[in-house]
Amino acid sequence: MTPNPWYREPWPWLIMAGPAIVVVAGIATLVLAVTSFDGLVADDYYKQGLSINRVIAREAAARRMGIAASVGFAPGRTRVRVVMGEGARPMSLILTLAHPTLPAEDQTVLLAVTAPGVYEARLRAPRAGRYGLRLEDGEGRWRLAGQWSTANDSVQLTP
């Protein structure tokens, strides 16, 4: 009986299969790491961390002023009804919709006064899902924040 050549035996192939699979998986991981962009990592994370105290102070100012808002979403537009305890009402507000994972879906709109305590702006239709909302005056004195799901047509923001 003559022995088979090595390439006809199963054992060399089984032994080489493990390293070959690891090499293919490593190349696939490298391709994914190089071609995909992780938009969740901020370049200025240290400065953002330092600015947290300013954000907390602005939310505390909204609480002191007794500010609350009702944000309503309709196709193509946004309506905000603001209740303010003290102080003059601003001429405009800034509303930011922040998608949790897709920065391209983030929107910032300038809301203009349409009636006393009512502000409106046109809004591009957001992708279905959850969004972080930020409502602030143009001067940066106060800020309200909350969460909104596109399944609802309105949300209440309180400090």
CATH (domain of 112): 2.60.40.10
User: In terms of domains, do 30 and 51 share one?
Assistant: no
Dist CA 80 CA 157 (whole Å): 10
Same domain for 56 and 31?
no
Spell out the per-residue pLDDT of the chain, length 159, in tens.
788 898 999 999 999 999 999 999 999 999 999 988 766 666 777 777 777 767 788 888 888 888 888 888 888 777 888 877 666 678 888 999 999 888 888 999 998 888 888 888 888 888 888 999 999 988 888 899 999 888 888 888 888
pTM for the complete prediction? 0.66
User: Do residues 92 and 28 both lie within one domain?
Assistant: no
Residue 134 lies in domain: 45-157
Element containing residue 61 per DSSP (H, E):
helix 52-65
1 within a domain of the structure (yes/no) = no
Query: Of 71, 83, 81, nearest to 107 (Cα)?
Result: 71
Of residues 94, 97, 124, 96, the one with CA closest to residue 111: 94
The verdict on residue 52 lying in a domain is yes
User: Element (H or E) spanning 39, and its range?
Assistant: none
- Number of independent structural domains in the chain: 2
**Residue 77: inside a domain:** yes
